[in-house]
Amino acid sequence: MGSILEGSTIENEEIEIQHLQKGVRHLCEKGLTRVPSKYILPINERPNLGDTRVNAGNFNLKLPVIDFTQFQGSDRCQAIHSLEKACREFGFFQLVNHGIKDDDILRMVDVSRRFFELPFDERAKYMSKDMASPARYGTSFNQSNDKVFCWRDFLKLSCQPLEDTLPFWPSSPGDLREAVVNYSKSTKFLYLMLMEAILESLGLKETTEGAERKSRSTQEFEDGSQLIVANCYPACPEPDLTLGMPPHSDYGLLTLLLQDEVEGLQIQHEGRWVTVEPLPNSFVVNVGDHLEIFSNGRYKSVLHRVLVNSCKSRISVASLHSLPFNSMVRPSPKLIDQANPTRYKDTDFATFLRFVSSHDMNAKTFLESRKLTA
């Protein structure tokens, strides 16, 4: 077994790949002491954890903090301004006072951790190459295409519509389905309220009172797609050789990320990699590719990656939101004029799936494929 885990001959390469596709947790359970060659990045792509240069990523960043309660009171105008500035200048912000119960958040992290602690044979029931599967357990980023694997296992659960997808979700741990349903409903509410505020920040929504505030433009998002992604980044024996996630942007409109207390998330800001400091009881929210397209480039999705460490495993839970899978995403006509021509092609989820099935998803390659040339 040691030769499979720590390197193999050419003859054993296919066996090794099949073994690695069982996931990082499976490798660690077998007593891994070194990073297999399939996970080792080229030198220029490694995180350089011991490097002190400006571009090496050894800086911490406090993201803009948005207080969710301010959207519902007399400070709404100031909150909208802060949101606009955060989306335009950072593409990321931290959301506090969001109203989701502490117990629901702790339960979501705990049930995710317990799923990854299940015996491999139980987790393997949900392994699938079908990217549209309502429940999919896997490893790396896109294990079918990744030239270099990343140090991450995941569980992806489609939430739209819940009554159709729920029966396909894991039945173990026994409380997983209930915990994810509660969590998905809470994050969907936050997403809708944030999108309403973002529309207002883009000048696409009138500021009115009461029931009139809910415009038809907001209604478009209510039937949108939602994907819950639980990520597990086990402790890594050689964290300077690999990444938990490579540099990438998210494909949807908004992502709401729940982190545990372990640092790992980095974003590219002003040309350098900076670590996002976990803020207790908050969500990290980021602009996705679809919002960049919808805003015609006013708000831009931002490259981010995940570091791993040698001491602690890390759990995160991402709630990814966009329009319905069969809907077309295009720049808002109200944001197009002579000075700001259309900058992106129309796109939909099927186009994204075709792209990721045949391309390496490093950086913002999908979004770049949707840009119109000047």
The yes-or-no verdict on residue 8 having pLDDT over 50 is no
Task: Tell me if residue 356 falls in helix, strand or coil.
Answer: helix
pLDDT in tens, 197-256: 999 999 997 544 444 445 545 667 888 999 999 999 999 999 999 999 999 999 899 999
Which amino acid would we find at residue 342?
A: T
Residue 55 burial (CB count, 10 A): 12
Q: What percent of the chain stands above pLDDT 70?
A: 86
Can you read off the two tokens belonging to residue 369?
Answer: 């494929």
Looking at residues 3-19, what average pLDDT do you find?
50
C-alpha dihedral over 339, 343, 345, 349, to 10 degrees?
Answer: -120
pLDDT digits (tens, 9 = 90+) for 66-108: 999 999 889 999 999 999 999 999 999 999 999 999 999 999 9
Q: Work out the pLDDT band at 116, boundaries 50, 70, 90.
A: very high
Position 73 scores a pLDDT of 86
- What integer pLDDT is reported at residue 361 of this predicted model? 59
Model pLDDT for residues 31-40, shown as the tens digit of each residue: 888 999 999 9
Using a pLDDT cut of 90, give the percent of the chain over it: 66
* SS3 per-residue string spanning 312-327: CCEEEEEEEECCCCCC
Closest CA to 87 of 62, 63, 60, 57: 63
Alpha helix (H) ranges present in the chain?
2-6, 13-20, 24-29, 76-89, 102-116, 120-123, 162-165, 176-201, 216-222, 289-294, 349-356, 365-370
pLDDT at 53 over 60: no
As a whole number, mean pLDDT of residues 141-161 equals 88
How many Cα atoms within 13 Å fall on the side-chain side of residue 161?
Answer: 4
Higher model confidence: residue 256 or residue 141?
Answer: 256
Residue 49's pLDDT is 65
Residue 334 burial (10 A CB sphere; 0-12, 13-18, 19+): exposed
Rounded (10°) CA dihedral 361, 184, 24, 240? 60
Please identify which residue in the block is written with the tokens 């891994």.
Answer: 32
For the chain, how many helices (H) and strands (E)?
12, 13
Domains and CATH numbers, the chain: 11-49+66-203+216-370 (2.60.120.330)
Structure-model confidence comparison of residues 75 and 8, the more confident one: 75
Q: What is the mean pLDDT of residues 311-315?
A: 95
- How far is the C-alpha of 230 from the C-alpha of 126, rounded, in Å? 13
Q: Say if CB 203 and CB 215 are below 8 A apart.
A: no
> Is 144 a residue whose pLDDT tops 90?
no
Does this model's pTM top 0.85? My answer is yes
- Over 80: is that where the pLDDT of 2 sits? no
